[in-house]
Chain A
């Protein structure tokens, strides 16, 4: 996922998103990083974290105004975290943190959402809230990409699936891709070797 977004060097090839090179459409993409890549002791509270989502469209030199703050608050309400707005982000549980970062992605007002393993180490109710919001985004015509490797929920959560293990195994609608044969191929017979499985809603 990071290679697709041009955040790490790729071996070869070219990535086009919305029919254009990634560079040109960066502001139409919201990326939710893996939780362990962040400094949770950083002096920032929940609300200011969500407000960061308004930065891409502000551009440099402009500061967030009242309407941006209102919008950030609205996004925070959407994930049900408004009562925590003044808490420092490290004081939240894993699931709450993930919801805050989803709110930040919402604040980016993007067309494409990239989530890197959003369901790792979070509680069931947060997972439910997040998947509901993602489905709402889908219904609004947005595209959501999720890196996921919990096979039990695949059919409930996603519409389309890209199955990867070093190379592309299969891609398309879930019913077509998510079959015992392709999964065996992806996980190489014994299910013990867990490679990343990429899944798109």
Chain B
């Protein structure tokens, strides 16, 4: 209960709560498209590759958001360019590009500036959320959610059946890059809460949990956002009460939800499946 009292009293906790819930929702929503398009590795790549952008922004003394967004975009374009113009397969080109960017980022941060705390960027610290971070997350959130709501239909069809989408004239390439931009924005918004290294878990795990529980994309998106945000709250609670790394706790919370769904999901869960197989065998 003391957590709730603290929440009433301390403004920094309120900011942290608001930001982490927002991040949970955003990662949950975009994560659904990432999972269904088979781009989990791409999500990992973009989150790592924003690091040099963060470093350069600090050097130029601008908000880290701009540098990170530019780097995220460069990464997705670079990956696309390599896999389309050589025989190198897509997952390998993702590996090449993002590790290069990540390495560059580490060098830039450690050598060029002492003002940034590398561990904070890598692993997040939800309790250190400033007002400017909170507003940034809110604005990014509003933009991302608005775009997903407006173009839900187009995102659905290009994810499910890109051939049909192209056959009736949708610009599927363009839509792919729109989703990459949204992914970059969400990653940047999550830096403060979960950190670069673990963003991919926020993108992939709540969405996969939801995927096991429903057969409708819209329901999957709502469930995924819900799982993402309650995991964030759990992360905030444990990191403020027990002084644990917020990113790590959030990710483990999403994992617990996933394991529960994996075992108990009515349609896909291993438990009911095993029971059903036994019943069928007994019936024979």
Question: Do the beta carbons of B154 and A43 come within 8 Å of each other?
Answer: no
Instruction: Tell me the chain A residues, 16-66 only, with Cβ under 8 Å from chain B.
Output: 23, 26-27, 29, 31, 33, 37-39, 42-45, 48, 52, 55-56, 58, 60-61, 63-64
Task: Give A5 to B164 CA distance when docked, in angstroms.
Answer: 11
Contacting residues, chain B, for A104 (C-beta < 8 A): 164
Stretch among B21-29, B54-62, B155-163 lining the A interface: B155-163
Shortest Cβ gap from A154 to chain B (Å): 26
> Does B153 make an interface contact (CB < 8 A)?
yes
Instruction: Tell me the chain B residues, 147-174 only, with Cβ under 8 Å from chain A.
Output: 150-151, 153-154, 156-157, 159-161, 163-164, 166-169
Question: Do the beta carbons of B215 and A56 come within 8 Å of each other?
Answer: no
Task: Give A65 to B154 CA distance when docked, in angstroms.
Answer: 16
Known contacts A42-B36, A43-B215, A55-B153; is A7 also within 8 Å of B163 by CB?
yes
Shortest Cβ gap from B152 to chain A (Å): 8
Choose one: B151, B214, B219, B220; the contact of A60 (CB below 8 Å): B151
Query: What's the interface size class on A, roughly?
Result: 20 to 34
Q: Count of chain B residues with Cβ under 8 Å from any Cβ of A?
A: 23
Choose one: A26, A43, A45, A108; the contact of B220 (CB below 8 Å): A43
Instruction: Tell me the chain A residues, 53-112 only, with Cβ under 8 Å from chain B.
Output: 55-56, 58, 60-61, 63-64, 88, 104, 108
Question: Do the beta carbons of B215 and A61 come within 8 Å of each other?
Answer: no
Contacting residues, chain B, for A64 (C-beta < 8 A): 153
Question: Do the beta carbons of B167 and A5 come within 8 Å of each other?
Answer: yes
> Does B217 make an interface contact (CB < 8 A)?
yes
Question: Do the beta carbons of A23 and B217 come within 8 Å of each other?
Answer: no
Known contacts A23-B169, A55-B168, A58-B153; is A88 also within 8 Å of B163 by CB?
no
The 10 A-B residue pairs with the shortest CB-CB distance in the complex, in nearest-first order: A56-B168, A26-B169, A88-B215, A31-B167, A33-B163, A43-B215, A42-B160, A43-B220, A43-B217, A26-B168
19 contacts between A and B (CB under 8 A): A2-B163, A7-B166, A7-B167, A26-B169, A31-B167, A33-B163, A42-B160, A42-B217, A44-B215, A44-B217, A45-B215, A52-B161, A52-B164, A55-B157, A55-B168, A61-B150, A61-B151, A63-B153, A88-B215
